[in-house]
Amino acid sequence: MVALATNLGFPRIGPHRELKSSLEAYWAGKASANDLRAAAAEVRAEVWRAHARLGFDHIPSGDFSLYDHVLDMAVLVGAIPERYQAAGPVDALDRYFAMARGGTLGGKSVTALEMTKWFNTNYHYLVPELTSGQRFALAAAKPVDEFRQAAAIGVATRPVILGPVSFLLLSKHVGKGSNLELLPALCEVYAELLAAIAEAGASWVQIDEPLLSLDLEAEHRRAFSWAYGALREASPGLRLLVATYFAGLADNLPTALHLPIDALHLDAVADPDQVDVAVAQAPGTLALSLGVVDGRNVWRTDLEATLRRLEVVSRSLGPDRLMIGPSCSLLHLPLDLDLEPSVEAELRSWLAFAMQRLVEIATLTRGLNDGREAIADDLAEAGAAVTSRAASPRAHDPSVSRRLAQHTPALEERSSPYSIRRRAQAARLGLPLLPTTTIGSLPQTPEIRALRARQRRGQTDTNTYEDGLRAYIDQAVAFQEDVGLDVLVHGEPERTDMVEYFGEMLNGCLVTKYGWVQSYGSRCVKPPIIFGDVSRPGPMTVDWAVYTQSRTERPVKGMLTGPVTILEWSFVRNDQPREVTARQIAFAIRDEVADLEAAGIKVIQVDEPALREGLPLHAVQRKDYLAWAVAAFKLASCGARDETQVHTHMCYAEFNDIIESIAAFDADVISLEASRSRMEILSAFTDFEYPNEVGPGIFDIHSPRVPETGEMVELLTAAMEVIPVGRLWVNPDCGLKTRRWEEVRPALANMVAAAREVRGRLGDRLL
């Protein structure tokens, strides 16, 4: 056999988000733990059967998670912080979800682990907490259990685990010392785990080490070599595949190629050039797994070009040393294009979701093993789709090209510097010291979701639908006024998602019906597909902002999503540079800003939570990205007049190394997630004097627990040590869409009380 068909991982949510439904039913007390486990087992089983039907040689197991795979690994190796170690007996599932979401455990209130983005994706992982002298122990058997579940239905799988070095370096160290000091102790537990996997009957194990795709120091490379030497010695009968993804390995490639392992997976989509180097330098005993179909985007693979490349590689490597797979886990894709029969035929022919990626991998493997004639029809069909997409007029709009040609650097600058704008905005808005606001969205109630669903199905006429939204807004405004917020929002009841909503409004975008992708836990998003030139056919948010402002004397924020976030949280066309698409979106948002301003909206928020995740993993590529990303935001927002206050929001990321670029946004106010880290994220503002206003979040919106006023006073006081009080805002970490009103009402009341308590200490004065 020339090549093997393989996969690294698959979406966990089920074709109709069965995992989401089961999780939320369990959290609401409407389903038992056994119900949840049974639903999860069925989702896993169907995924394994799908791989087996297509003839895959290496099928992943253990990649499934009830919430997050990094959290799974922390629990597996016993890295459970002390606050989750209740005095009495605690159910393991309750502890697991307390670590993920916070809440009550063993009768005491506990905060969740910190959350941040998984490399340069929109997936969020829970950050393990480790301490000096951390003790590890094999505390669970998840990879073994799922391997055995697959075997019980007749499917042989390859267990997947997160590697020890990546686990340590992705974790937070509490106290003194370095996480790498813990490597010997952790590898002892990994050796025990590998022995259990081998004893269960597995012949291969996949060990994900995505840290190899980052810029590493020499000590990190030595850690990889040492760790795999130890694991190889401890598991001589088990074949090890180390998987890397999201970028090329660059200077880490020699280290990876010479680890004592049996196979190495490379992302040949993110960095095709590394393949030739790897083929030339790989030891004769090392197999290469090549990720040649895109696990991050939805465009159909050019099978002819890919097969041609693989034929060259296979001749160089020889038999039994080549595996064909996706660039990374297919977790980041919608599940199945077959669920989208309403997508127009030509557009549909250009696309491939996770299930179609499996078909492409199986087809390429068959072409290598059985010859081109065995897949002649597949090659012809894929080639026709590639040709159709390149020539289609729906992808190219001359009016958008003309608009881009009008771009000048002057469009990326506000009329006056912040110091002048600040005075104009203070006079117009009249806000108190420590002004309070929210990030934008308010709870999406079952009633609002049902109303929107009926409208989409044509079961509710437009007037009834809009009357329902206005009633929600009226109640939201009344609540915000009663609780004492200073800058209000309309709550976004008309929006399913902050990017999907704009994808539905913009030309050049397709929004699917079932194209869900997991963001974290039960949270799923439906990324738009940007297939052509982007433009705005008309106002997108103005009517709702104007209606809300008519219901209150307090300022109401116009809520927009920024061009970089729309780009990053969509499946973006790959036939032109990303910065060109970002500029197209920026012009559309710029027009919306102008319309909001003309309609009398005094505060406009242009959210860019995805700035960090667009950052290339290698430092050498970052300068160019940050230059065009900042330019896109400024193009979108800088048309605003001095007296219009421009906000932006960023969340769940590290900002220290990009703080200068964030400052270059020149937004009047930036809000960001800060509560889970207890303001540690503000260390970026210690060494860099941020010139404008900042709203560090003082309560965690991803947890059902309601923080007390005193807790928020402590966080606000900590923020005041870094941010001058005259430039400090008070707000939650992020939007409140996923929370219930029963949680939001007391939490916001406590937040306003915290701001008032601190104002009282300082003396109430205007900015």
Catalytic positions, written as ranges: 702
Q: Give the whole-angstrom CA distance, residue 574 versus residue 395.
A: 11
Which residues, in sequence order, are CB contacts of 183 under 8 Å at separation 6+? 164, 165, 168, 223, 226, 227
Token match 């929370």: residue?
739
Rg (CA), the chain: 26
Beta strands in 676-756 (DSSP E): 693-696
Contact 139, 76 (CB under 8 A): yes
DSSP letters spanning 695-707: EEB-S-TTSS---
Amino acid at 428: R
Q: How far is CA 45 from CA 42, 226, 329, in A?
A: 5, 36, 17
| Residue 84 exposure: Cα atoms within 13 Å on the Cβ side | 24
Which residues, in sequence order, are CB contacts of 354 under 8 Å at separation 6+? 10, 11, 330, 333, 334, 335, 336
Q: Which two tokens stand for residue 442?
A: 């308010």
Beta strands in 44-91 (DSSP E): 60-61
The dihedral built from the CA positions of residue 471, 476, 479 and 480, taken in this order, carries a sign that is negative
Which residues, in sequence order, are CB contacts of 658 under 8 Å at separation 6+? 611, 612, 615, 626
Contact 439, 671 (CB under 8 A): yes
Token match 């941020």: residue?
690
Contact 153, 48 (CB under 8 A): yes
Contact 74, 128 (CB under 8 A): yes
Q: Which two tokens stand for residue 706?
A: 């309601």
Q: Give the whole-angstrom CA distance, residue 278 versus residue 264.
A: 10
Closest CA to 94 of 520, 704, 676: 704
The H-assigned helical ranges of 323-417 are 345-349, 354-370, 376-391, 398-405
Q: Given the DSSP bridges, would you call strands 115-117 and 204-208 parallel, antiparallel or unpaired?
A: unpaired
Q: Give the DSSP H/E element, type plus range, for residue 510.
A: strand 507-510
Amino acid at 114: E
β-strand partners of 346: none
Beta strands in 587-730 (DSSP E): 603-607, 645-650, 669-672, 693-696
273-281 and 303-317 helices, crossing angle to 10°: 10
DSSP letters spanning 580-604: HHHHHHHHHHHHHHHHHHHTT--EE
Q: Which two tokens stand for residue 612?
A: 């960090």
Q: How far is CA 728 from CA 457, 694, 697, 703, 717, in A?
A: 45, 5, 11, 24, 11
Contact 11, 339 (CB under 8 A): no
